[in-house]
């Protein structure tokens, strides 16, 4: 009898050990912090945390990229009328992509390996006679124009899942905020003020994510701090591409891909910088007031309707004539604009056809032009700031939706000021 008891105990111990070993192995796989986008699209089980820093299980779902609409989309004649067909490199790429689309092929619909996607110098010099005279940062952008699938470092796949009931997951507004790894103070000011997550006004659910690339190798390594921040706040999205002004287009592309996959039911999406001030209640009331046709086709902000490339090599927005030749389509200033959630799948599809352009808000305007969607000018979006004499006037600030740009301290002061119950306007 004693032998049977001993054998039973041994079997139980071995069984418990195997269960523990399997669970540990599974957890190590599920919470890997680094993966390629193709794995992310198949098994979205990257790290995600709730507000208390507790890990939450992610939904296992399938996602096909590009979306089905990519191969079936058509490009409006307006884009062809706005952008001339000539010998500049980007113009040639565009019209080549449009021809391929007609044939049923999609130049950018298939992501190439991130480690092999950069174009060689000989190819670029053949197509742009003065390529070696481009600024170094611009050369780097052109070499990486086909690179659209950076590895994922931090993800929040359950961001827009608020509860078990379907009505709990109806995100009314998603704030997607461009930031950089070192901008913690600016992010925290946004979290404490206009980007605060939760239910606003009469039951409107708001979620917030910050979009990050990776720091240059010469900068201090912030990966551990960012991992802690991601666990604690549950709002960081990070990809392994270098932060730079000209990589904001890639960041926009990744935000579109992420939102189409993880937050497809968002009614509206805000895209903006972490140094803007947003009057969230005013923005929500504006969105609530929209009639259905406009609400489903919205692309609004401060519109730049007549702009052309800047040709001064010393300007950070410099565009060489051999790279792009022609005017820009009308676009909303990148400091902050609002988009209908219903437009995002089509916008993502357009981004799979239109070649990357080094200025992200111009590129957004090009993609919307391809869809036949026109930007709507809204005077309450002040991406170029307001008159200096009005900047301390709380009543003027209270009427606006967005002001660019403000420091973290100014954001907190302004938020407290316009919500002061003693303020009479």
Amino acid 412: pLDDT: 98
Distance from the first to the final alpha carbon of the chain: 88
SS3 231: helix
User: Residue 27: its pLDDT value, please?
Assistant: 31
1.20.1630.10, 2.130.10.10, 3.90.550.50, 3.20.20.70: CATH of 30-425: 3.90.550.50
pLDDT at 104 over 60: yes
Q: How confident is the model at residue 128 (pLDDT cuts 50, 70, 90)?
A: very high
Above 70 in pLDDT, residue 24? no
The mean pLDDT of the chain is 85
pLDDT tens by residue, 255-301: 999 999 999 999 999 999 999 999 999 999 999 999 999 999 999 99
In this prediction, residues 334-346 reach a mean pLDDT of 97
Instruction: Give the tens place of pLDDT for each residue, 133-161.
Output: 999 999 999 999 999 999 999 999 999 98
| pLDDT tens digits, 27-52 | 333 223 333 333 333 323 233 333 33
Q: Cα angle vertex 36, ends 115, 234, to 5°?
A: 135
Contacts of 274 (CB under 8 A, 6+ apart): 177, 178, 179, 183, 186, 187, 190, 210
Q: Which helix (H) or strand (E) holds 183?
A: none
Q: What is the dihedral of CA 12, 17, 19, 21, to 10 degrees?
A: -170
Pull the structure tokens for residue 360.
């992200």
> Residues 159-170: pLDDT tens digits?
998 765 555 668
């Amino acid at each position: 009898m004693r032998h049977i008891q001993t054998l039973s105990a041994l079997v139980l111990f071995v069984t418990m050990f195997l269960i523990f070993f399997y669970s540990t192995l599974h957890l190590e796989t599920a919470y890997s912090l680094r993966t390629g986008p193709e794995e992310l699209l198949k098994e979205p089980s990257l790290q995600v945390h709730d507000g208390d820093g507790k890990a939450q299980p992610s939904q296992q779902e399938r996602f096909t990229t590009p979306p089905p609409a990519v191969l079936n989309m058509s490009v409006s004649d307006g884009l062809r009328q706005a952008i001339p067909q000539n010998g500049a490199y980007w113009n040639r790429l565009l019209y080549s992509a449009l021809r391929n689309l007609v044939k049923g092929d999609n130049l950018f619909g298939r992501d190439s390996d991130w480690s092999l996607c950069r174009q060689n110098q000989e190819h670029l010099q053949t197509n742009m006679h003065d390529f070696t005279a481009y600024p170094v940062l611009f050369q780097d952008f052109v070499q990486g124009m086909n690179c659209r699938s950076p590895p994922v470092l931090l993800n929040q796949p359950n961001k827009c899942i608020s509860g078990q009931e379907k009505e709990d997951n109806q995100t009314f507004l998603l704030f997607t905020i461009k930031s950089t790894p070192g901008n913690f103070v600016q992010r925290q000011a946004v979290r404490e003020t206009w980007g605060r997550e939760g239910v606003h006004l009469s039951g409107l659910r708001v979620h917030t994510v910050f979009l990050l690339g990776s720091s240059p190798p010469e900068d201090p390594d912030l990966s551990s701090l960012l991992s802690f921040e991601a666990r604690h706040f549950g709002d960081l999205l990070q990809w392994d591409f270098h932060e730079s002004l000209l990589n904001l287009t890639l960041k926009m592309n990744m935000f579109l891909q992420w939102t189409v996959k993880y937050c497809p039911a968002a009614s509206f999406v805000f895209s903006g910088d972490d140094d803007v001030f947003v009057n969230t209640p005013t923005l929500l009331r504006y969105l609530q007031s929209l009639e259905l046709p406009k609400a489903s086709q919205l692309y609004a902000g401060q519109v730049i309707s007549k702009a052309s490339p800047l040709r001064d090599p010393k300007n950070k927005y410099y565009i060489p004539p051999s790279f792009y030749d022609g005017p820009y389509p009308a676009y909303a200033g990148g400091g902050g604009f609002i988009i209908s959630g219903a437009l995002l799948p089509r916008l993502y599809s357009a981004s799979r056809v239109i070649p990357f352009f080094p200025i992200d808000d111009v590129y957004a305007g090009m993609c919307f032009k391809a869809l036949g969607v026109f930007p709507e000018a809204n005077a309450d979006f002040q991406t170029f700031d307001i008159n200096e004499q009005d900047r301390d006037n709380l009543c003027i600030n209270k009427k606006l939706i967005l002001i660019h740009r403000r420091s973290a301290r100014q954001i907190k002061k302004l938020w407290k000021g316009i919500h002061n119950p003693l303020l009479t306007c």
